[in-house]
Amino acid sequence: MPKIELKSSKTTNKKAPVFWHALFLAFKGKLIAGGLMKFILSVLQLTGPMILKKLLNFIHNPSQPVWLGIFYACLLGLVVFIQTLFVQAYFYRQFLVGLRFRSAVTGMIYRKSLKLSNSSKQTSTTGEIVNLMAIDAQRFQELTSHIHILWSSPMQIVIAVLLLYNLMGYSILPGVVLLLCMIPINIFIQRIQKKLMTKQMHLKDQRIKTMNEILNGVKVLKLYAWEPAFILRISDIRGKELLCIRQKAIVSAISTLVGTFTPIL
């Protein structure tokens, strides 16, 4: 398991270490291998429609030999079979990389928590540290399954547009314009989701911090009968958190709706 260390520079002319750089360098071999698998998978996804076009042309042209149609049909089935294998292998490999991501980040947070000074411990509670290790580190595991979409999706879009232009000519322009118009809409939706996620994480940290204070001072709380006041305080924070979760679910539903109906339009 690679060990991520962000060591501070002893000289002032060097740049501060960047977490993403350290994470990439620790797993660059596995990430590059996953990228190659994603590239092959993208090529296979674009090859299927091209073979299907050849098969349809064969059906509309009876003068061609029968073996050619059998060849196209077998080739199409083989491509789909290989594509299925690569899909499963890609997600399996990226899932393992995600587990290593999470383990490395969790270990780094744990090692850092052991070195916190007294002043830092006043601002970072145990609940917040546990939240970082249990929830935020999980995001890194989820990231690895979709990280290669950053470069594969633009590549697939460009190649698909070129293939459609070769097939349909300028009649694809309305679809391309619609696709370009959906980009700022999706960016706007993603920004809203990011704000809601940040707000939810802040409320969750606040709730965990309050619960940690309650558990640490439970004797005093019982002595002065402050349970109702703290119950109201926790309930208020939890209510705001649930409202944020509902808003995030609504925005996510809108995003899914837009993504579903855009190809139909």
Answer yes or no: are the C-beta atoms of 67 and 109 closer than 8 Å: no
Q: Residue 138's closest CA among 149, 126, 130?
A: 130
CB count within 10 Å of CB 180 equals 9
CA dihedral 87, 88, 90, 94 (to 10 degrees): 140
Residue 11, pLDDT score? 45
Residue 8, pLDDT score? 47
Q: DSSP state, 11?
A: S
User: What is the C-alpha separation between 28 and 113, in angstroms, rounded?
Assistant: 26
Full-model pTM: 0.67
Q: DSSP state, 172?
A: G
Residue 194, pLDDT score? 86
> Does position 73 have pLDDT exceeding 70, yes or no?
yes
> Does position 6 have pLDDT exceeding 70, yes or no?
no
List, in order, residues 6 or more apart from 156 with CB less than 8 Å away. 42, 45, 46
Q: Which contacts of 36-39 are long-range, i.e. CB under 8 A and separated by 24 or more positions?
A: 37/86, 37/89, 37/90, 37/93, 38/90, 38/148, 38/152, 39/152
Average predicted confidence (pLDDT) for the chain: 81
| Local confidence band at 126 (pLDDT 50, 70, 90 cut-offs) | low
> Does position 1 have pLDDT exceeding 60, yes or no?
no
Domain boundaries, the chain: 1-7+17-147, 153-265
> Does position 200 have pLDDT exceeding 60, yes or no?
yes
Q: Residue 100's closest CA among 60, 143, 63, 129?
A: 143
Residue 212, pLDDT score? 78
